[in-house]
């Protein structure tokens, strides 16, 4: 009798999840520094869940919760060696009371790199046009993709690994040049225009 009354109270308060009410967890690796997970998308969740995650071994409690008007809607979790771990299965667990939901995620293609910064252009003494930029993440695994075009013609792309500069040889002073620089890792590119 008491167990049935307790179940009825949980149902009336919405503390029992049905299959269509399960919060969906979405995770991305941010600049290979930490994993950012949110649940319920852009809609604030109904409850403050407790979050745990792991690549392997034991679950780790959330290091830093993401709040929206005092409601927990996500977690930022740091892990060592994310450049390699992002290839492994990532498991999340949300808890509310004595209920929990576990979900598996593949983060291999869910890497969001910070865009290049401090873009600059310089006319070189060699009569070439030089472009320079900074990357926030230093690694030989990061490839910069440089695209440029002249006067709105087709883009020409070049991959530049372990460099933060690009040269257009002997450009015409009567043409307008457009350049974009993107950082990529496993098919993930974020462009910045100059």
Q: Mean pLDDT across the stretch 58-87?
A: 90
d(CA 142, CA 179): 19
Spatial neighbors of 155 by CB under 8 A, at least 6 apart, are 147, 148, 149, 180
Tell me what pLDDT residue 63 has. 93
d(CA 116, CA 111): 15
More confident residue, 191 or 165: 165
Q: Percent of the chain scored above 70 by pLDDT?
A: 79
Tell me what pLDDT residue 20 has. 47
18-22, 137-141, 154-158, 167-171: which has the minimum mean pLDDT? 18-22
Tell me what pLDDT residue 138 has. 64
Tell me what pLDDT residue 3 has. 43
Tokens describing residue 181: 């620089």
19 confidence band (pLDDT: 50, 70, 90): very low
Annotation: CATH topology of 20-111: Immunoglobulin-like (2.60.40)
d(CA 125, CA 129): 9
d(CA 124, CA 176): 17
Residue listed under structure tokens 């070189």: 124
Positions of CATH 2.60.40.10 in the chain:
20-111, 114-193
122 confidence band (pLDDT: 50, 70, 90): very high
6 confidence band (pLDDT: 50, 70, 90): very low
Q: Mean pLDDT across the stretch 111-131?
A: 88
Q: Are strands 143-150 and 177-185 parallel, antiparallel or unpaired?
A: antiparallel
Q: Mean pLDDT across the stretch 62-83?
A: 90
Tell me what pLDDT residue 7 has. 40
As its CATH architecture, domain 114-193 has Sandwich (2.60)
Tell me what pLDDT residue 105 has. 95
Tokens describing residue 4: 């049935």
83 confidence band (pLDDT: 50, 70, 90): confident
Tell me what pLDDT residue 113 has. 84
What mean pLDDT, rounded, does the chain reach? 81
d(CA 133, CA 194): 10
Tell me 149's DSSP state. E
- CA 9 and chain centroid, separation: 40
């Amino acid at each position: 009798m008491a167990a049935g009354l307790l179940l009825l109270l949980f149902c009336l308060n919405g503390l029992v999840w049905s299959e269509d009410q399960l919060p969906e967890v979405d995770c991305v690796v941010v600049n290979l520094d930490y994993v950012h997970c949110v649940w319920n998308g852009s809609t604030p969740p109904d409850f403050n869940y407790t979050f745990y995650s792991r690549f392997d071994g034991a679950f780790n409690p959330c290091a830093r919760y993401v709040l929206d008007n005092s409601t927990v809607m996500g977690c930022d979790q740091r892990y060592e060696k994310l450049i390699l771990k992002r290839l492994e299965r990532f498991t999340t667990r949300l808890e509310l009371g004595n209920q929990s939901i576990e979900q598996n995620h593949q983060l291999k293609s869910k890497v969001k790199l910070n865009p290049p910064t401090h873009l600059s252009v310089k006319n070189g003494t060699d009569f070439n046009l030089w472009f320079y930029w900074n990357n926030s993440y230093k690694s030989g695994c990061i490839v910069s993709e440089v695209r440029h075009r002249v006067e709105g013609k087709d883009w020409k792309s070049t991959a530049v690994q372990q460099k933060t500069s690009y040269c257009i040889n002997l450009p015409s002073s009567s043409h307008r040049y457009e350049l974009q620089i993107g950082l990529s890792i496993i098919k993930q590119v974020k462009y910045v225009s100059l």
